[in-house]
C-alpha cells in the first residue's frame, strides 16, 4: 500500500494536491482544491479517476479550475463524483453546476454528491446530470464523528475547520488502512504449515469467530490473527491551506495533536516571517509558523505550497530556511524553485 501525491500548479500560482491511494488491489484518486490551470498537470484519465474532490474553501484561487474538472466528469457513467467543502458548499456547487446551458442532458449519465462539513455534522445533497442539476436532492444529515469524517474501503478522512480571516478553511487528513502482514517467525513457532487459510487471515469478510483447522489442529481466525498478524499503521497525508492559527492557543494544541505522526504534511506557506502583520490580516501562516507546527507535531516531512507571488525566488529560498530553522525535512515540490 502507498499514498502517492503530486502538487499541481507552480510557485506563486494557484495550487492543488492530487493524491492516489494504491492498496495493491485497487487505486483511488483524490483531489484537494482546483485552482486555475492546475489540471493541466494531469492526464485526462487522471482527472476522470478522481472519486472525491475536497475544497478547502471557495476563494477563487482554489476553485477557478473547477470548470475543467466538471467538463471532464459531468456525465461520468461509472458512479457518482463526490465533492466536499466547508459550510455553504452545497449551495455554491449547485450554482456552479447550473451555470451552463443545458439542453442535451436528458439521456446523460452523471450524479454528484456534495457534502459540507461543519463542527458537528455533515450535510449532503445529490445532483443529477439528467435533470440539468435543476433539483437539489437533500440527504439526511449525519452527525460528525469526532475522529473519522468519512470511511472508505482503503482509507479514511479526518477534517478540521480552521480560521481563514472571517471564513473557515477545511483541512483534511487522509489515512491509509493499517497494513497487516503475516509474521513467518510466529507461524513457525506455532508449527503451522502454510495453506489456503493464510489468504483468509487478512480477508476482513471472514469473521474472527470462524473456525478453521490448520496442521490438524482447531483454531478460530480471530485466535490466528492475534498470534500471527503484524499490524503497521498506514501512511497519511494532510492538506492544510489558507489558515491562521496562533502558537500556544487551544486551537494550535488541537492541531498539533491531530497532525502528530502524519507522514506528509502539505501546508500553505504564503508569507515570510517578517510579513507577519500582513499574514495575520489575510488569515495566513508564515514560514516560521509552518516549521514550528511541523516540529511540534513530529510529522514525517513537509511540502510547502501556496506561496505568495509577491516574492522572488530568493525570498522563497529564504522562506524555506525560515521554516527549516524549526524543522529539517521541509521541501518545495520538485522543480519549483532553482536550487531547492
Separation in Å, CA 254 to CA 150, 180, 194, 248, 299: 20, 29, 46, 10, 15
Residue 139 Cβ vs Zn ion, minimum distance, rounded to whole Å: 28
Active site residue 14: no
Q: Which of 14, 61, 235, 275 is catalytic?
A: 61
Q: Assess 288 for contact with Zn ion (CB under 5 A).
A: no
Candidates 33, 36, 61, 275: give the one binding Zn ion (CB under 5 A): 61
Q: Assess 14 for contact with Zn ion (CB under 5 A).
A: no
Give the H or E element holding residue 19.
strand 15-22
Point out which span in 46-54, 174-182, 206-214, 239-247 binds Zn ion (CB under 5 A).
239-247
DSSP 323: H
Residue 333 Cβ vs Zn ion, minimum distance, rounded to whole Å: 16
Q: Assess 36 for contact with Zn ion (CB under 5 A).
A: no
Residue 230 Cβ vs Zn ion, minimum distance, rounded to whole Å: 42
Q: Assess 282 for contact with Zn ion (CB under 5 A).
A: no
84 CB-near residues (< 8 Å, 6+ apart): 52, 53, 54, 55, 114, 115, 116, 117, 150, 157, 170, 172
DSSP 262: -
Point out which span in 20-28, 37-45, 209-217, 236-244 binds Zn ion (CB under 5 A).
236-244
Site size toward Zn ion, by CB under 5 A: 3
Nearer to Zn ion, 61 or 111 (CB): 61
Q: Assess 126 for contact with Zn ion (CB under 5 A).
A: no
337 CB-near residues (< 8 Å, 6+ apart): 11, 313, 316, 317
Cell numbers representing residue 172 in the block: 483534511
The Cα–Cα gap between 175 and 160 comes to 14
Point out which span in 17-25, 59-67, 136-144, 174-182 binds Zn ion (CB under 5 A).
59-67
Residue 194 Cβ vs Zn ion, minimum distance, rounded to whole Å: 53
Q: Assess 59 for contact with Zn ion (CB under 5 A).
A: yes
Separation in Å, CA 244 to CA 102, 184, 237: 40, 48, 19
Q: Under DSSP, is residue 278 helix (H, G, I), strand (E, B) or coil?
A: helix
Q: Assess 242 for contact with Zn ion (CB under 5 A).
A: yes
Closest alpha carbon to 275 in 253, 296, 244, 240: 244
Nearer to Zn ion, 57 or 105 (CB): 57
Point out which span in 60-68, 88-96, 132-140, 146-154 binds Zn ion (CB under 5 A).
60-68
The Cα–Cα gap between 274 and 286 comes to 8
Nearer to Zn ion, 228 or 269 (CB): 269
Residue 157 Cβ vs Zn ion, minimum distance, rounded to whole Å: 21
User: Could you list the active site residues?
Assistant: 61
List of residues contacting Zn ion (CB under 5 A): 59, 61, 242
Amino acid at each position: 500500500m502507498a499514498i502517492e501525491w503530486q502538487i499541481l500548479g507552480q510557485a506563486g500560482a494557484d495550487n492543488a494536491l492530487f493524491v492516489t491511494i494504491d492498496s495493491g488491489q485497487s487505486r483511488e484518486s483524490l483531489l484537494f482544491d482546483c485552482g486555475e490551470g492546475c489540471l493541466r498537470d494531469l492526464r485526462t484519465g487522471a482527472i476522470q479517476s478522481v472519486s472525491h474532490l475536497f475544497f478547502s474553501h471557495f476563494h477563487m484561487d482554489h476553485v477557478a479550475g473547477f470548470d475543467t474538472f466538471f467538463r471532464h466528469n459531468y456525465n461520468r457513467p461509472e458512479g457518482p463524483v463526490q465533492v466536499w467543502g466547508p459550510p455553504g458548499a452545497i449551495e455554491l456547487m449547485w450554482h456552479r453546476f447550473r451555470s451552463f446551458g443545458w439542453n442535451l442532458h436528458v439521456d446523460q449519465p452523471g450524479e454528484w454528491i456534495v457534502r459540507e462539513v461543519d463542527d458537528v455534522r455533515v450535510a449532503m445533497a445529490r445532483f443529477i446530470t439528467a435533470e440539468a442539476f435543476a433539483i437539489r436532492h437533500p440527504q439526511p444529515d449525519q452527525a460528525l464523528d469526532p475522529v473519522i469524517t468519512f470511511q472508505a474501503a482503503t482509507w479514511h478522512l479526518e477534517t478540521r475547520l480552521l480560521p481563514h480571516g472571517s471564513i473557515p478553511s477545511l483541512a483534511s487528513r487522509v489515512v491509509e488502512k493499517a497494513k497487516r502482514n503475516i509474521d513467518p517467525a510466529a507461524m513457525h513457532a506455532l508449527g503451522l504449515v502454510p495453506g489456503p487459510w493464510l489468504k483468509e487471515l487478512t480477508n476482513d469478510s471472514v469473521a474472527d469467530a470462524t473456525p478453521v483447522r490448520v496442521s490438524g489442529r482447531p483454531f478460530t481466525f480471530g485466535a490466528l490473527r492475534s498470534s500471527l498478524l503484524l499490524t503497521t499503521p498506514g501512511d497519511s497525508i494532510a492538506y492544510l491551506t489558507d489558515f491562521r492559527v496562533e502558537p500556544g492557543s487551544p486551537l494550535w494544541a488541537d492541531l498539533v495533536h491531530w497532525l502528530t505522526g502524519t507522514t506528509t504534511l502539505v501546508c500553505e506557506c504564503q508569507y515570510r516571517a517578517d510579513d507577519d502583520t500582513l499574514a495575520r490580516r489575510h488569515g495566513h501562516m508564515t514560514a516560521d509558523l509552518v516549521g514550528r507546527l511541523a516540529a511540534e507535531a513530529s510529522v514525517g516531512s513537509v511540502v510547502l505550497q501556496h506561496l505568495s507571488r509577491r516574492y522572488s525566488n530568493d525570498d522563497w529560498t529564504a522562506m524555506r530556511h525560515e521554516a527549516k530553522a524549526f524543522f529539517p525535512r521541509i521541501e518545495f515540490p520538485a522543480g519549483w524553485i532553482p536550487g531547492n
